[in-house]
Amino acid sequence: MASATGDARRRADAVAKVYAARGNQPLWVEGDHYSAKAKAVIARLADAVEDGLNPVDYALPEAELSADTTELVANADLRVSMAVATFAEQASGGRVAPRSISKDITRTPERIAADTALATVADAIDVAAALEGFNPSTDGFRRLKAMLAEVRATKDSAEPAPEPVALVKSLKPGMSDDGVPALRKRLGLAAPAEGIEPALYDDALVAAVEAFQKENGLTADGVVGARTLAVLNGAHRDVEGEIIANMEMWRWMPRDLSQDYVFVNIPEFKVRVVRNGQQVHEARVVVGKTANQTPVFSGEMQYLVVNPYWHVPESIKIKEMLPAIQADPAGYFARHGYEVTWDGQLIDPTRVIWDENAVKAVGIRQVPGEANALGNIKFMFPNKHAVYLHDTPLRSLFNRDVRAFSHGCVRVDDPMAFADAVLQGDPEWTVPKLRAMFGGAERRVDISTHLKVHLAYFTAFVDEAGKLQLRDDIYGHVQAIKKALGMSQV
Q: Annotated catalytic sites, by residue?
A: 390, 409
232 touches 401 (CB < 8 A) = no
Candidates 219, 225, 233, 245; CA nearest to 398 is 219
- Cα–Cα distance measured from residue 428 to residue 447, given in angstroms and rounded to the nearest whole number: 8
Q: Crossing angle, helix 70-93 and helix 114-122, to 10 degrees?
A: 110
C-alpha of 275 from chain center: 20
The secondary structure of residue 110, as a DSSP letter, is -
**Distances in whole angstroms, Cα of residue 115 to Cα of each of 57, 88, 108:** 19, 10, 20
- Cα–Cα distance measured from residue 74 to residue 80, given in angstroms and rounded to the nearest whole number: 10
The secondary structure of residue 200, as a DSSP letter, is B
Q: Residue 335 in 3-state DSSP?
A: helix
- Cα–Cα distance measured from residue 65 to residue 352, given in angstroms and rounded to the nearest whole number: 80
396 touches 281 (CB < 8 A) = no
442 touches 307 (CB < 8 A) = yes
Phi, psi of 483 (to 5 degrees): -65, -45
Radius of gyration of the chain (CA): 28
Phi, psi of 451 (to 5 degrees): -115, 135
Stated as kind and residue range, the H or E segment containing 298 is: strand 297-306
Q: CB-based contacts of 365: which residues, under 8 Å, 6+ apart? A: 309, 310, 311, 312, 338, 339, 341
**Distances in whole angstroms, Cα of residue 14 to Cα of each of 18, 37, 60, 149, 246:** 7, 21, 19, 33, 29
Angle in degrees, CA 155, 245, 147, rounded to 5: 40
Phi, psi of 394 (to 5 degrees): -90, 75
Phi, psi of 464 (to 5 degrees): -65, -25
- Cα–Cα distance measured from residue 460 to residue 451, given in angstroms and rounded to the nearest whole number: 25
Helix segments in 94-138, DSSP class H? 98-101, 114-122, 127-132
Angle in degrees, CA 36, 42, 48, rounded to 5: 140
Phi-psi category of residue 414: left, alpha or beta, with phi > 0 → left and psi -120 to 50 → alpha: left
The secondary structure of residue 273, as a DSSP letter, is E
